[in-house]
Amino acid sequence: MTTTEADRWRVPPGTAVDLAAVDPRSADGVAGKDESAAALPDLHDRLRSLQERLWAEHTRSLLVVLQAIDAGGKDGTIKHLFLGLNPAGVEVVSFKAPSEEERAHDFLWRIHPHTPGKGEMVIFNRSHYEDVLVVRVHSLVPEDVWRPRYELINQFEANLAAAGTRIVKTFLHISKDEQAERFQARIDDPTKCWKFRVGDLADRQRWDDYRKAFEEAVSRTSTEHAPWYVVPADRKWYRNWAVSRIVVETLEAMDPRYPSCAELEGVTVT
């Protein structure tokens, strides 16, 4: 397999992830903020071109899954990376707490309709992984219900891959101190305080439980066809650079092509 820049964040299948061993302030691979800022315009141009080719080719698709603890930067990542793409072929889907109807079905029932069709790029802001994360931490269902879901998720993603969907799963890894700073910044900013919930503080008290849940989820479900990437995300500029590289390199490996227009040879518009 060809080594890429993104491999520094990739979790090889079968790896036991220890988030405590990953520095959330790491800037490995780039000299600093200025270098990352200088690289982003080229990465964005490449991403726009690749997404357009994917849409034109219309035979395969890309699913980008973003997961993080509260204030981890999912919204910011989407805002900085995916604006400016062809809206005809890109969709962002946010998964909140399931509705009564959704709870009446299996946990993947609400996910499947939002997976990408041919030519599409879909970004999941949270995802089916909530059913082995928040469900586990808050004991919303018994362990003998949520634990088999790891394998069900692997099977679900294998089915998507077999149908032509490339899957990229990214965990935005921030520190507890960084989360506190971001929460306080939200509270103090009249334009952002609406994003803060008092319940966020209760979840913050479960930091270690969430860390263990993320570690097992990533360890159990990083596969060749649907790898996880653990991205240090305390520094927003580094997060944006890293996720851009991951998505661009994934699309470059797919190498989508414009369809042939041979049937138009000799056609003249009059």
Q: Is the pLDDT of residue 234 over 70?
A: yes
Q: Find the range with the poorest average confidence among 157-161, 236-240, 258-262.
A: 258-262
Q: Is residue 102 in some structural domain?
A: no
Asked if residue 163 has pLDDT above 80, the reply is yes
pLDDT in tens, 123-139: 999 999 999 999 999 99
User: By the 8 A CB rule, do 254 and 60 touch?
Assistant: yes
What's residue 57's pLDDT? 97
- Cα 96–chain centre separation: 15
Question: Sign of dihedral through CA atoms 243, 248, 249, 253?
Answer: positive
Q: What sign does the CA torsion over 126, 132, 133, 137 have?
A: positive
Instruction: Tell how many helices (H) and how many strands (E) occur in the chain.
Output: 10, 6
- For residue 269, is it within any domain? no
In a domain, 261, yes or no: no
Confidence of residue 183 (pLDDT cuts 50, 70, 90): very high
Kindly report the pTM of this predicted structure: 0.95
Position 2 confidence tier, pLDDT thresholds 50, 70, 90: low
Query: For residues 99 and 196, what is the distance between their CA atoms, to the nearest angstrom?
Result: 21
How many domains would you assign to the chain? Answer: 1
In this model, does residue 227 exceed pLDDT 50? Answer: yes
Domain limits for position 174? 5-16+31-95+110-256
In a domain, 193, yes or no: yes
| Amino acid 43: pLDDT | 96
Rg (CA), the chain: 19
pLDDT, mean over the chain: 95
Q: What pLDDT was estimated at residue 224?
A: 97
Rounded to an integer, the average pLDDT of 57-77 is: 97
Q: What is the CATH number of the domain that holds 217?
A: 3.40.50.300
Q: What six digits make up the tokens of 194?
A: 């609406």
pLDDT of the residue at 76: 95
Please give the residue that has the higher pLDDT: either 83 or 27.
27
- Asked if the structure places residue 180 within a domain, the reply is yes
DSSP element (H, E) containing 181: helix 176-188
The verdict on residue 139 lying in a domain is yes
Residues forming beta bridges with residue 65, ordered by sequence position: 124, 169
Tens digits of residue pLDDT in 243-252: 999 999 999 9
Q: What per-residue confidence (pLDDT) applies to 1?
A: 46
What SS3 state is found at 170?
strand
Phi, psi of 187 (to 5 degrees): -60, -40
Nearest-angstrom CA–CA distance, 87 and 107: 28
**Selection from 92, 90, 83 nearest residue 40 by Cα:** 83
Task: Report pLDDT for 157.
Answer: 98
Q: What is the pLDDT of residues 190-218, one digit of tens each?
A: 999 998 988 889 999 999 999 999 999 99
Can you read off the two tokens belonging to residue 239? Answer: 């997060």
- Please report whether residue 217 resides in a domain: yes
pLDDT at 67 over 90: yes
Average confidence (pLDDT) over 214-227: 98
Is residue 270 one of the residues assigned to a domain? no
Residue 24 has pLDDT above 90, yes or no: yes
Top-ranked range on mean pLDDT: pick from 83-92, 179-188, 194-203: 179-188
Please determine, for residue 93, whether its predicted confidence score (pLDDT) is greater than 80.
yes
- Region 32-45: what's the mean pLDDT? 96
- List the one residue out of 45, 129, 137, 57 whose CA is nearest residue 89: 57
Confidence of residue 262 (pLDDT cuts 50, 70, 90): confident
Q: Which of 1-5, 152-156, 184-188 has the lowest mean pLDDT?
A: 1-5
Token duo for residue 63: 């699913």
